[in-house]
Chains A and B, each alone.
Chain A
Amino acid sequence: EVQLVESGGGLVQPGGSLRLSCAASGFGFSGYWMSWVRQAPGKGLEWVANIRQDGRENWYVDSVKGRFTISRDNADNSLFLQMKSLRVEDTAVYYCTRIGTGGEFDYWGQGTLVTVSS
């Protein structure tokens, strides 16, 4: 059974940093692109970042470029999102997702809440 379990969310002040983790199990993690998708409270879904299987290619939504870094550890079946210079508008539930063979987000974790507030 595919499982994605996020951790690392919490309350942080504007300008602060946070590192999210996602523990993957139940599938060959190193064989898949992975992604982070976020959802602000009461709002819709927003794609944040993608990372290739070997970690050497990644993509970001414009609003987080230069502030967020996606990475992975295939030996440990883990995905990460390093977030710096956090803004109030980054407040959201952050979901770890697996990207299916076509590009769709085929499995989602339960999410971890990041709150940026003074």
Chain B
Amino acid sequence: DIVMTQSPDSLAVSLGERATINCKSSRSVLYNSDNKNYLAWYQQKPGQPPKLLIYWASMRGSGVPDRFSGSGSGTDFTLTISSLQAEDVAVYYCQQYYSTPRTFGQGTKVEIK
């Protein structure tokens, strides 16, 4: 199984400042035949289901604000919120869909400082 490890477990950022979350996979999730990273990011606000933010490591999902961006390749990935807004308070998860079982990181809780 591919193990996904996020860091930090939580972070507090001032409104308008940058938030950065890291995700590391125990094996590469880059599929050589199509040169795509099979890595997604989800946002889960309190009391709500998760929402897809990023897929293919860097493609924004439908309706996702452009302050959210994803980067990285192979085993190391980053989700960046360029200017934190109050509505971004949530837990963020990375997930690999390179192989079965699909696995998630443990989550990173983002709060306002």
Contact = CB atoms under 8 A, between A and B. Distances in A.
Contact of B52 (A35, A46, A95, A105): A105
B55 interface: yes
B105 to A, nearest CB: 8
B93 A102 contact: no
A27 interface: no
Interface stretch (A9-17, A71-79, A106-114): A106-114
Contacts of A45: 42, 44, 50, 93, 95, 104, 107
Contacts, number: 59
A95 B50 contact: yes
Nearest to B55: A104
Contacts of A105: 40, 42, 50, 52, 95
B56 interface: yes
B33 interface: no
A46 B56 contact: no
B42 to A, nearest CB: 7
A44 B52 contact: no
Contacts of A37: 50
A47 B103 contact: yes
Contacts of A35: 102
Given A105-B40, A105-B42, A106-B55, A61 B49 contact: no
Contacts of A44: 93, 104-107
B95 A106 contact: no
Nearest to B51: A108
A33 to B, nearest CB: 11
Contacts of A103: 38, 97
A62 B103 CA distance: 12
12 contacts: A44-B105, A44-B106, A45-B44, A45-B50, A45-B93, A47-B103, A59-B100, A95-B49, A106-B55, A108-B49, A110-B49, A111-B49
B97 A104 contact: yes
A102 B97 contact: yes
